[in-house]
Structure 1
Amino acid sequence: MASDGDQIIENLRALSEPANANSDVQSLLIRSSALVSCLKSLNRAANTATKTKKDETTAARQEMDQSHLGLQNLLYEKRHLEREIEKCRQFASVYQDIPLYTLEEFQGLAPEEARTSEVLEDDHQLMLNRLSFELAERQRLDLKRRELLQAKEELLKQSKVNTNTLDGVKGHIDALVKTASEIQKKVDELIQPLPVPENSTAMTIG
């Protein structure tokens, strides 16, 4: 397009040269008007192309800015996640202070599905399963302990009832013994020794 414009300008310049001074003015005017019209058409086309390229450049710049902003957001999110991961790695969880069954005890006591070869090869899953097993065992032992405590309380209650009953029976026995003793004493007082006849021995022998 630039070369076409240069050619038109050269043609216009040629029309103004002294060699064309004696040429027909009307003919020169027509030729110059045609060249100017072509030049204006080229100028409009150049402006349109420039505007199109400018719009394309603006759109590309906006897309690039948007991509850059998205990249910055991703980098920010990445740094945030890295910090959170580091915090998690440095976090001292309570499970680290919990006395767990040893690995050998876990392998010997835990359900088979909790200690498969795949689990034993995965340290994270293995720790989760060991913690779950530890929780289940502690709940089972706690339930057993509460059952034993309840049984102990029942035995203590029954023992207290038995003790109270025994004390009541003992009181009754003591009262009966005392009553019997008093009755025996009165009977002894009422009964006088009978006199023995002199010939009782002879009569008994005969």
Structure 2
Amino acid sequence: MPVASEPAEPPYVAVIDQLMRLAGPSTPSNDPAAIHIRAAALTARLKSLARAANSETRQTKNLTAAARHDMDQSHLGLQNLLYEKRHLEREIEKCRQFASVYQDIPLYTLDEFKVLAPPEACSDDVLSDEHQLLLNRLSFEFVERQRLDNMRKELLVQKEELLKESKAKLNTMDNIKSQIETLVKVATDVQKKVDDLAQSIPAMDVEAPG
């Protein structure tokens, strides 16, 4: 089994060790300027490492925030998909339980449909497809009801025309009847006057021929 290697020591640790050794008693103090230059270089190196560490930390934080944002977005998207899935499942169940209006429409029987419908509406391919057959039967029923409704409207128009014609004839007959009654009344009055006049004239003796 391979032995796991120890993590590498951070660079700043070595710099700090060098600074500590430089400040320790083991370092010769006969050249203070050299020590100062060496210490300044190590300090600058340590500051550079600190800036790099801070920059890396900020970058890591940004990457972490971006990853967290992506994870949150993915989680939100998953929740939306689950919600949509449940919604679609409910809608599908509603559709399955829905009693469509066409189920209550009285249709021509299948035998009547085969006889009355156009050939292309009841071909063998259609008869073998239950869904298409139902659509064709509903379509044929719609067309037939439109045709019958148009016939009903035409008959109503004819009925209205006949009623108007009958009413006109009835009015004519009433007028003729009224005129006849007027003529009869006038004739009766004239006859009465003639009778009265005849009664007022003295009777004349008429000799019989010898």
- 1:190 counterpart residue number: none
* Partner secondary structure for residue 20 of structure 1: coil
**In structure 2, what residue type is equivalent to 1:100?**
L
- 1:3 counterpart residue number: 10
Taking the aligned partners of 2:132 and 2:30, their CA distance within structure 1 comes to: 101
**In structure 1, what residue type is equivalent to 2:97?**
Q
| Structure 1 pair 104–45 and aligned structure 2 pair: CA distance change class (3 A) | farther
Taking the aligned partners of 2:124 and 2:56, their CA distance within structure 1 comes to: 70
CA shift, 1:158, in A, is 6.0
- 1:126 counterpart residue number: 133
**Cα RMSD after superposing both structures:** 3.7
CA shift, 1:44, in A, is 0.3
- 1:25 counterpart residue number: 32
**2:76 matches 1:94:** no
Taking the aligned partners of 1:71 and 1:97, their CA distance within structure 2 comes to: 42
Taking the aligned partners of 1:80 and 1:98, their CA distance within structure 2 comes to: 31
CA shift, 1:157, in A, is 6.4
Taking the aligned partners of 2:141 and 2:79, their CA distance within structure 1 comes to: 45
| Structure 1 pair 56–151 and aligned structure 2 pair: CA distance change class (3 A) | same
Taking the aligned partners of 2:127 and 2:42, their CA distance within structure 1 comes to: 89
CA shift, 1:156, in A, is 6.5
Match of 2:48 among 37, 41, 57: 41
Long gaps (5+) in structure 2: 1-7, 188-210
Taking the aligned partners of 1:115 and 1:121, their CA distance within structure 2 comes to: 10
Q: What is the TM-score with the length of structure 1 in the denominator?
A: 0.65
Aligned pairs (5 A) from 1:34-183: 34-115=41-122, 119-120=126-127, 122-151=129-158, 161=169
Long gaps (5+) in structure 1: 180-206
**In structure 1, what residue type is equivalent to 2:46?**
L
| Structure 1 pair 82–18 and aligned structure 2 pair: CA distance change class (3 A) | same
Q: What is the TM-score with the length of structure 2 in the denominator?
A: 0.64
**Percent identical:** 60
CA shift, 1:132, in A, is 1.7
Query: How many residue pairs get matched?
Result: 175
CA shift, 1:113, in A, is 4.2
